[in-house]
């Protein structure tokens, strides 16, 4: 039952919302548009069961785990509807049904009135159904899970059964993706009214699995004036940054990238960034590196090179460049610092990565014409905190980086965030674990620089570059994630910068 499956997906809106924002949307639907709360709960139950049956059409029995609030109420609706469709339903109340109130109390009563029965919690019950429905906790959970609920979640995760989470995996913090003690690992999450940002941040992707959205037919008017925490990147940003080229196009119209880095013995990083910039469509790419690192470029004859024994050797290259890619293989020596300072003094648009970020952390400054591309460890150094602090609230970390350093921030990781200014952020849900290998950040730097050279807009190029890089990684992983190389991703970039 837990193998490959294909779920039809409701069209996803661009916004990712906080728990408070979704509660406000729910309130508007009820109060302004006269949608009873129990009607919304019933629609949520239908949406969950429909998604379950589409994904596991051969399942004949399910186990539903119901908690103490409205999320548990959704579970009782799922169980009632499933019985009506002829499925064998095992239902465990993880919280005392006598404590239920409002719509959840009504959902429980209707389940019982139609012949449904509750079973006591015991660890072996998780094997009673072919699919488990997690309706224990919803978005209101704000404390660590303990007691019987924690035991139930751990047993669910060990049951070797596919799990469908109702709205959000139980135990996952809805705004940060932080695990509150323990959390359900679902294969499918069916979420309602507004997608929860926590499913895409922190540990969220590991726990939410595939996400299906249903707006429950809430009128569009309920969304007017609502503010998402993040917006989701899609192919439209690539189309905006890279429109079709005219028939009279020539290389001079597509920009000149100068990749700066490659300390002695570290030529591979600049080679990867430069090759990625070429594949992203830059008209010209030059590598400025230590003389002892230029040998790495021999295999790519399209690249030009500049031997940099000292920063003064870069002057002409800096003058000719449209955009700089600063940091791959740069190191942190006195030579690196000299090159770093000279590059920033040129006042050109610049994509900053790797050791250039570490040098920046040692001497912080603010700039409006750069893209900083830290991974969580580099972000921690830039903010003077721990990597755990960054991962605990990636959204807040991206905003703090943008406020302190200016420009555009690309906080890399599962759910890469592009923060353009206060309150304006985007998230990429593409990419895969196979991309967690050496050189992948250098490829992203080159892609963003290559797109910047063509469109001249750092923010748009950062968004398009992140999406292209992740999409190329997914294409490269089609034959398997393990063993994926940065060069495999470069080979797929060309197909991703030529959108249909």
**Residue 20: per-residue pLDDT:** 96
Instruction: Kindly report, residue by residue over 37-47, the tens digit of the pLDDT.
Output: 999 999 999 99
C-alpha–C-alpha distance, residues 211 and 297, integer Å: 42
Read off the pLDDT band of 499 (50, 70, 90): confident
Residue whose C-alpha is closest to residue 190's, from 74, 344, 276: 74
Predicted local confidence at residue 500, as pLDDT: 75
Judged against a pLDDT cut of 70, whether residue 1 lies above it is answered with no
Q: For the segment 136-146, what is each residue's pLDDT rounded down to a tens digit?
A: 999 999 999 99
pLDDT at residue 153 tops 80: yes
DSSP string, 406-437: -SEEEE-STTEEEEEETTEEEEE----GGG-S
Q: Which helix (H) or strand (E) holds 136?
A: none
Cα 295 from Cα 187, distance rounded (Å): 47
If you average pLDDT over each of 222-226, 319-323, 420-424, which comes out highest? 319-323
**82-98 pLDDT per residue, tens:** 999 999 999 999 999 99
Instruction: Tell me the pLDDT band of 13, cut-offs 50, 70 and 90.
Output: low
Q: What are the DSSP calls for 451-495, one per residue?
A: HHHHH--HHHHHHHHHHHHHHHHHHHGGG-STT--HHHHHHHHHH
Asked whether the predicted pLDDT for residue 72 surpasses 70, the reply is yes
pLDDT at 296 (0 to 100): 75
Q: What is the mean pLDDT of residues 324-352?
A: 97
pTM for the full predicted model: 0.92
Q: What CA–CA distance (Å, rounded) separates 214 from 230? A: 18
Q: Pick the closest to residue 457 from 374, 375, 368, 356 (CA basis).
A: 368
Domains 15-227 and 236-496 fall in the same CATH topology = no
Q: Does 2 have pLDDT greater than 90? A: no
- When the candidates are 3.40.1190.20, 3.30.60.50, 3.30.9.10, 3.40.228.10, the CATH number that belongs to 236-496 is 3.40.1190.20
Question: Which fold does the domain 15-227 belong to in CATH?
Answer: Rossmann fold (3.40.50)
Asked if residue 305 has pLDDT above 90, the reply is yes
Residue 10: what pLDDT? Answer: 41
pLDDT at 11: 42
pLDDT of residue 423: 75
Other C-beta atoms closer than 10 Å to the C-beta of 6 total 8
Nearest to 308 by CA among 358, 273, 348, 342: 342
Share of the chain above pLDDT 90, in %: 92
* Residue 12, pLDDT score: 42
pLDDT band at 386 (very low <50, low <70, confident <90, very high): very high
How do the domains of the chain map onto residue ranges? Answer: 15-227, 236-496
Q: Which pLDDT belongs to residue 7?
A: 40
pLDDT of residue 4: 32
Cα-to-chain-centroid distance, residue 384: 24
Q: Is pLDDT at 3 greater than 70 in this prediction? A: no
Query: 6: pLDDT confidence band, cut at 50, 70 and 90?
Result: very low
Question: Can you tell me whether residue 196 is helix, strand or coil?
Answer: strand
The tens digit of pLDDT for each residue in 244-275 reads 998 899 998 999 999 999 999 899 999 999 99
Determine the Cα–Cα distance for residues 41 and 439; give it in Å rounded to an integer. Answer: 47
């Amino acid at each position: 039952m837990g193998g490959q499956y294909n779920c039809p997906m409701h069209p996803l809106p661009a916004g990712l919302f906080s728990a408070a924002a979704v509660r406000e949307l729910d309130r508007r639907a009820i109060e302004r548009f006269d949608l009873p709360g129990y009607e919304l709960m019933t629609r949520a139950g239908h949406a969950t069961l429909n998604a379950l049956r589409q994904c596991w059409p051969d399942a004949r029995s399910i186990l539903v785990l119901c908690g103490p609030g409205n999320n548990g109420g959704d579970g009782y609706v799922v169980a009632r509807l499933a019985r009506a469709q002829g499925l064998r339903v095992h239902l465990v109340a993880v919280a005392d049904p006598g404590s239920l109130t409002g719509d959840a109390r009504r959902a429980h009563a209707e389940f019982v009135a139609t012949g449904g029965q509750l079973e006591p919690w015991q660890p072996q019950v998780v094997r009673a159904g072919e699919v488990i429905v997690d309706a224990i906790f919803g978005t209101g959970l704000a404390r660590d899970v303990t007691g019987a609920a924690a035991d139930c979640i751990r047993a669910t995760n060990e049951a070797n059964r596919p799990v469908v989470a109702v709205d959000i995996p139980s135990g996952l913090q809805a705004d940060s993706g932080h695990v509150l003690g323990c959390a359900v690992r679902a294969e499918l999450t069916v979420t309602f009214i507004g997608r929860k940002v926590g499913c895409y941040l922190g540990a969220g992707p590991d726990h939410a699995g595939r996400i299906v959205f249903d707006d429950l037919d809430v009128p569009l008017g309920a969304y007017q004036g609502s503010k998402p925490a993040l917006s989701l990147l899609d192919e439209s940003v690539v189309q905006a940054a890279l429109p079709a080229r005219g028939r009279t196009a020539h290389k001079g119209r597509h920009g000149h990238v100068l990749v700066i880095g490659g300390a002695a013995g570290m030529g591979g990083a600049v080679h990867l960034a430069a090759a990625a910039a070429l594949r992203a469509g830059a008209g010209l790419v030059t590598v400025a590196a230590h003389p002892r690192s230029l040998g790495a470029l021999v295999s790519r004859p399209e690249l030009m090179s500049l031997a940099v024994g000292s920063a003064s050797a870069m002057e002409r290259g800096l003058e000719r460049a449209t955009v700089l890619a600063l940091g791959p293989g740069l190191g942190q020596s006195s030579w690196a610092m000299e090159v770093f300072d000279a590059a920033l003094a040129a006042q050109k648009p610049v994509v900053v990565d790797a050791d250039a970020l570490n040098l920046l952390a040692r001497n912080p400054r603010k700039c409006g014409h750069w893209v900083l591309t830290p991974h969580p460890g580099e972000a921690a150094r830039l903010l003077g905190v721990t990597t755990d602090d960054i991962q605990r609230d990636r959204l807040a970390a991206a905003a703090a980086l943008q406020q302190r350093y200016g420009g555009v921030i690309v906080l890399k990781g599962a759910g890469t965030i592009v923060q353009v200014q206060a309150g304006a952020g985007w998230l990429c849900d593409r990419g895969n674990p196979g991309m967690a290998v050496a050189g992948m950040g250098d490829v992203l730097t080159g892609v963003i620089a290559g797109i910047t050279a063509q469109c001249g807009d750092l923010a748009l190029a950062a968004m398009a570059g992140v999406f292209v890089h992740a999409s190329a990684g997914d294409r490269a992983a089609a034959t398997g994630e393990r063993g994926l190389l940065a060069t495999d991703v470069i080979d797929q970039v060309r197909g991703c910068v030529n959108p249909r």
